[in-house]
């Protein structure tokens, strides 16, 4: 019982620490931004912001639209209709999540640019110049919108699919008796009812789009995130970069508000506890093939094409046998990702457990802050972490020299602590969200029963909560792990400088102009992500009857 | 300490024979990350008489915070069929005769930023602005992609001149059968500044602040500047050695003799902000 008495303060302290950790980079940026950078802003306002704001807005809107059509559309089709190939699509539709945006960009530029596969194919029939004129030009804003949208739509698909499945058949049937047609039911009943879920999916798509640097730079889209990079490194203005970061964070906050707005007026009566699932309409013949094609298109462009490209390049270059370096890079990736996953899981668990044990406003606030880290674009996060981490490093060295000890060096920066911290902050939302949802499904009666049976909170946690939460914990661990493997901007800037991970080695190959040499590394990331994505969607069809 | 990049295996083997270093002693990296660390004040002066002797002064920071360790030139990939000349100046790239015939990546990319900064350092901001406007007017398309795409676009007939670094061309030619036709359709011309040389940009080394093993770090830098390591680096990465007395890789040598610009790297660095500002001002990337 003695250990139990310490448990509560320890858990609360961990929750507080977690909130402080996530808030730290934001505070650091706010602090950096207070330094004056007058000439930066005049310049930005005159020459950079009008265009960067426009392009960023168009990119966000365009990618959102593509993701909405591909994601919600395919979710609707597989939820309401039965057709040949549907079961396979259920498994395939979420898989583009496994393809990082920058990889999709490289692949599509290679395929669709002059002298690429499409051009060479067209040249079989046309003179080269005429064939050139027919190329779609992926290095453009529309190209970026399509490419990024096609790998990010699963966020909308997954959330919309869950929502469509939970909609009870009663609503559609009532509408039908009132004379509504199929389209009218979709547009006026099903879509509005799925609005909250779709809003969450779209918000995730927007955040991922803002996070991207690699793809948009390569495709020639000048986003705000890219302007931060330029202001920081080319114009040498840390303060200006921090101020721009604040602007980006304001946009993020606006997006989150929009998402909240999208979820407004949502009551649980909408979807009854045990929804009566809608019977799927069978589609045969042409209609069935059309439905299949409509859902297969996003899978093809977002997953199959990039995957085949990577496999082809890896085999062609016999990368599968070559170079031990890739296994070393993979080892680094795994170590960093595993460490970050463990820390994120512990902190996420502590944050939610603190609320469970003592629900109050402060603990809820801590959990909300912990979940907000996902909204920080990787570059902004790196910028916000560098200053505090270096200050800590400098402090340790100053202390060591004061005490006459040997200098430890830039230990935090040099050991990868900074990169792991960035992962934890950015992906903490996953375990926090998963565990919060998991706890909600464990009735408080269990806690009370355990307590009345004389068990301490700690025992209840160990004997009741943890076993019941196991699937949630496993799920969260998998998702965080894969997200860490894919992360590029923060890794690039915060990794120990002589260490490559899979993601940074792809980037290095690409920046040396031989992206294909990184195909195996890309393939490893994709392969590692397929399992988890499949795991996430393993309950692809709701069981019939009461759940 | 670990070393990455194309030469890693060769150099790592040599390092293993010597003394092992803590891996955070030394930073060796792409120019962007070097810059990031400089802006954060995370490096310290290395002060090495050996480096001062081997590495020409224009490729070092006088405070000793950074030293170039190898270099590449920023050159033109000219179409074999359509570009009729064998020599070119950077100034000439703004000549209206190239209207719609030049392809280049983003003007804010570090390679172009350095080239444009060198232009500013040579000719002043006003002239540089005029030049950038002229160059912009000559572009066949909005800047995007990488240096490799510049060669690709020339090979496909989108433009006659692409701007890229020397090693990209060598890599396409020697290491990548798919891309070899892109290189084969072009010839590398080493442009010069009027009254100057060819712009080179550097891979640099920094010594980490508070490095616990400072002396060994400096020894390693000195070794990397030595003939043996420079030879490995030049051959594996198709770069120009930073010092005399090391053979240049045959592909790179085939471009002709490099007359590197003697503008000190610190002066280029000091003009980077102006170059970046001008790129935005003339709407180079728009």
Average pLDDT of A392-404? 88
Distance between alpha carbon B264 and the CA centroid of its chain, in Å? 14
Residue B3 lies in a domain: no
Query: What token pair was written down for B274?
Result: 């102006």
**CB < 8 Å from B in window 252-311 of A:** none
CATH classification of the domain holding B175: 3.40.190.10
Distance between alpha carbon A229 and the CA centroid of its chain, in Å? 21
Query: Given an 8 Å threshold on Cβ–Cβ distance, is A230 in contact with B2?
Result: no
pLDDT tens digits, one per residue of A247-291? 999 998 888 888 778 777 654 444 445 566 677 889 988 999 999
* Minimum CA–CA partner of A128 in chain B: B156
pLDDT tens digits, one per residue of A122-171? 888 888 778 888 888 888 999 999 999 999 999 899 888 888 877 777 77
**Do B185 and B275 share a domain, yes or no?**
yes
* Minimum CA–CA partner of A220 in chain B: B144
Which residues does A474 contact at the CB level (< 8 Å), separation at least 6? none
pLDDT tens digits, one per residue of A176-218? 888 888 778 878 878 888 888 888 889 889 999 999 888 888 8
Q: How many CB pairs under 8 A join A and B?
A: 171
**Do B266 and B142 share a domain, yes or no?**
yes
- Please check whether residue A119 touches B, CB under 8 A: yes
Q: What residues does B260 pair with on adjacent strands?
A: B198
* Cβ-contact B174, B234 below 8 angstroms: no
> What is the per-residue pLDDT for A258?
82
Give A69 to chain B, closest Cα distance, Å: 28
Contacts of B42 in chain A (CB under 8 A): 390, 410, 413
Contacts of A390 in chain B (CB under 8 A): 40-42
**Do B127 and B179 share a domain, yes or no?**
yes
**Do B87 and B178 share a domain, yes or no?**
yes
Query: How far apart (Å, rounded) are the C-alpha atoms in residues A36 and A16?
Result: 32
Which of B30, B145, B168 lies closest to A139 in CB terms? B145
Q: Which of A36-50, A269-283, A501-515, A527-541 is the least confident region?
A: A269-283
Give A389 to chain B, closest Cα distance, Å: 11
**Do B58 and B128 share a domain, yes or no?**
no
pTM: 0.87
Contacts of B30 in chain A (CB under 8 A): 508, 511
CA distances from A277 to A163, A166, A192 (A): 11, 7, 18
pLDDT tens digits, one per residue of A412-452? 877 789 999 999 999 998 899 889 888 888 888 888 898 89
Residue B84 lies in a domain: yes
pLDDT higher than 70, residue B30? no
**Do B43 and B159 share a domain, yes or no?**
no
**Do B87 and B52 share a domain, yes or no?**
no
The ranges assigned to domains in chain A are 26-292, 325-381+416-537
Average pLDDT of A442-466? 88
**Do B57 and B79 share a domain, yes or no?**
no
Query: Given an 8 Å threshold on Cβ–Cβ distance, is A43 in contact with B146?
Result: no
Q: pLDDT class for A539, splitting at 50, 70, 90? A: low
Query: How far apart (Å, rounded) are the C-alpha atoms in residues B197 and A44?
Result: 33
Nearest to B209 by CA among A409, A484, A175: A409
Contacts of A140 in chain B (CB under 8 A): 142, 144
Residue B16 lies in a domain: yes
**Do B29 and B81 share a domain, yes or no?**
no
> What is the per-residue pLDDT for B97?
95
**Do B79 and B63 share a domain, yes or no?**
no
Residue B92 lies in a domain: yes
Residue B2 lies in a domain: no
What DSSP letter does each residue of A476-503 carry, written as one string?
Answer: HHHHHHHHHHH--HHHHHHS-TT---HH
Q: How many CB atoms lie within 10 A of CB A533?
A: 22
**Do B28 and B120 share a domain, yes or no?**
no
The fold for domain A325-381+416-537 equals MetI-like fold (1.10.3720)
* Cβ-contact B152, B104 below 8 angstroms: no
Query: Given an 8 Å threshold on Cβ–Cβ distance, is A496 in contact with B167?
Result: no
Contacts of A48 in chain B (CB under 8 A): 280
User: Given this chain, do its domains A26-292 and A325-381+416-537 carry the same CATH topology?
Assistant: yes
Structurally, chain B folds into a number of domains equal to 2
Domain hosting residue B154, numbered range: 73-198+262-281
Query: How far apart (Å, rounded) are the C-alpha atoms in residues B65 and B48?
Result: 11
pLDDT higher than 60, residue B91? yes
ipTM: 0.83
> What is the per-residue pLDDT for A352?
93
CATH architecture of A26-292: Orthogonal Bundle (1.10)
Question: Mean pLDDT, chain A, as a whole number?
Answer: 86
**Do B271 and B194 share a domain, yes or no?**
yes
Percent of chain A residues past pLDDT 90, beyond the cut: 35
> What is the per-residue pLDDT for B106?
92
**CB < 8 Å from B in window 381-400 of A:** 386-387, 390, 393-394, 397
């Amino acid at each position: 019982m003695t250990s139990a008495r310490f448990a509560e303060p320890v858990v609360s302290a961990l929750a507080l620490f977690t909130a402080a950790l996530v808030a730290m980079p934001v505070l650091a940026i706010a602090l950096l931004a207070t330094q004056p950078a007058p000439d930066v802003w005049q310049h930005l306002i005159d020459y950079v912001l009008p265009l960067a704001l426009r392009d960023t807005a168009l990119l966000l809107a365009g990618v959102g639209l593509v993701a909405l059509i591909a994601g919600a559309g395919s979710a609707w089709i597989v939820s309401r209709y039965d057709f040949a190939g549907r079961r396979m699509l259920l498994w395939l539709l979420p898989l583009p999540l496994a393809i990082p945006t920058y990889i999709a960009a490289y692949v599509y530029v290679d395929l669709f640019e002059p002298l690429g596969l499409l051009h060479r194919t067209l040249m079989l029939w046309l003179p080269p110049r005429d064939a050139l004129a027919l190329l779609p030009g992926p290095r453009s804003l529309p190209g970026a919108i399509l490419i990024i949208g096609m790998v990010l739509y699963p966020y909308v698909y997954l959330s919309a699919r869950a929502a469509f499945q939970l909609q009870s058949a009663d609503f559609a049937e009532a509408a039908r008796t009132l004379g509504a047609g199929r389209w009218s039911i979709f547009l006026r009943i099903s879509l509005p009812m799925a609005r909250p879920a779709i809003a969450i999916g779209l918000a995730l798509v927007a955040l991922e789009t803002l996070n991207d640097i690699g793809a948009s730079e390569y495709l020639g889209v000048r986003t705000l995130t890219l302007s931060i990079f330029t202001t920081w490194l080319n114009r040498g203005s840390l303060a200006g970069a921090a101020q721009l970061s604040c602007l980006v964070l304001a946009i993020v906050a606006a997006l989150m508000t929009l998402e909240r707005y999208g979820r407004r007026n949502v009551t649980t009566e909408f979807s009854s506890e045990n929804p009566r699932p809608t019977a799927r309409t069978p589609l045969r013949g042409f209609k069935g093939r059309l439905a299949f094609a409509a859902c297969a298109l996003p899978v093809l462009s977002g997953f199959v094409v990039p995957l085949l490209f990577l496999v082809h390049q890896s085999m062609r270059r016999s990368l599968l046998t070559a170079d031990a370096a890739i296994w070393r890079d993979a080892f680094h990736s795994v170590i960093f990702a595993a460490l970050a996953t463990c820390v994120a899981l512990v902190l996420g668990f502590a944050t939610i457990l603190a609320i469970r044990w003592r629900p109050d406003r402060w603990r809820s606030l801590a959990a909300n802050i912990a979940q907000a880290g996902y909204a920080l674009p990787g570059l902004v996060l790196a910028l916000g972490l560098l200053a505090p981490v270096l200050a800590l490093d400098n402090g340790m060295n100053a202390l060591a020299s004061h005490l006459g000890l040997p200098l430890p060096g830039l230990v935090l920066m040099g050991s990868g602590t900074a990169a792991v911290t960035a992962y934890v902050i950015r992906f903490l939302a996953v375990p926090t969200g998963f565990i919060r949802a998991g706890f909600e499904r464990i009735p408080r009666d269990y806690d009370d029963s355990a307590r009345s049976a004389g068990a301490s909170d700690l025992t209840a946690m160990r004997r009741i909560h943890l076993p019941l939460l196991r699937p949630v914990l496993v799920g969260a661990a998998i998702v965080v792990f894969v997200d860490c493997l894919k992360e590029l901007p923060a890794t690039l800037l915060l990794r120990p400088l002589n260490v490559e991970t899979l993601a940074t080695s792809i980037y290095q190959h690409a920046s040396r102009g031989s992206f294909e040499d990184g195909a195996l590394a890309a393939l490893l990331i994709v392969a590692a992500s397929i399992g988890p994505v499949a795991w996430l969607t393993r309950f692809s069809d709701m069981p019939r009857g009461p759940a | 300490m670990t070393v990455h990049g194309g030469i890693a295996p060769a150099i790592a083997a040599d390092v293993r024979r010597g003394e092992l270093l803590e891996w955070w002693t030394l930073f060796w990296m792409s120019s962007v990350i070097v810059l990031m660390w400089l802006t954060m004040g995370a490096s310290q002066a290395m002060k090495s008489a050996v480096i001062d002797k081997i590495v020409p002064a224009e490729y070092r920071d006088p405070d000793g915070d950074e030293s170039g360790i190898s270099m590449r030139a920023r050159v033109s990939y000219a179409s074999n069929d359509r570009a009729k000349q064998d020599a070119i100046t950077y100034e000439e790239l703004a000549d209206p005769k190239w209207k719609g015939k030049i392809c280049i990546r983003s003007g804010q990319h570090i390679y172009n930023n350095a080239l444009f900064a060198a232009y500013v350092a040579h000719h002043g901001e006003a002239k540089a602005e005029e030049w950038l406007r002229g160059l912009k007017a000559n572009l066949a398309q909005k800047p995007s992609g990488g240096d490799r795409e510049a060669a690709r676009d020339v090979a496909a007939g989108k433009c006659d001149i692409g701007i890229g670094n020397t090693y990209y061309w060598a890599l396409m030619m020697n290491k990548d059968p798919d891309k070899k036709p892109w290189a084969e359709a072009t010839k590398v011309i080493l442009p010069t500044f009027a009254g100057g040389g060819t712009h080179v940009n550097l891979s640099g080394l920094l010594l980490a602040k508070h490095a616990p093993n400072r002396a060994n770090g400096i020894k390693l830098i000195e070794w990397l500047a030595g003939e043996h390591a420079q030879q490995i680096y030049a051959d594996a990465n198709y770069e120009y050695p930073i010092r005399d007395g090391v053979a240049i890789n045959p592909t790179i040598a085939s471009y002709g003799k490099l007359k590197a610009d003697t503008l000190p790297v610190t002066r280029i660095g000091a003009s980077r902000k102006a170059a970046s500002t001008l790129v935005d001002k003339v709407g180079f990337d728009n």
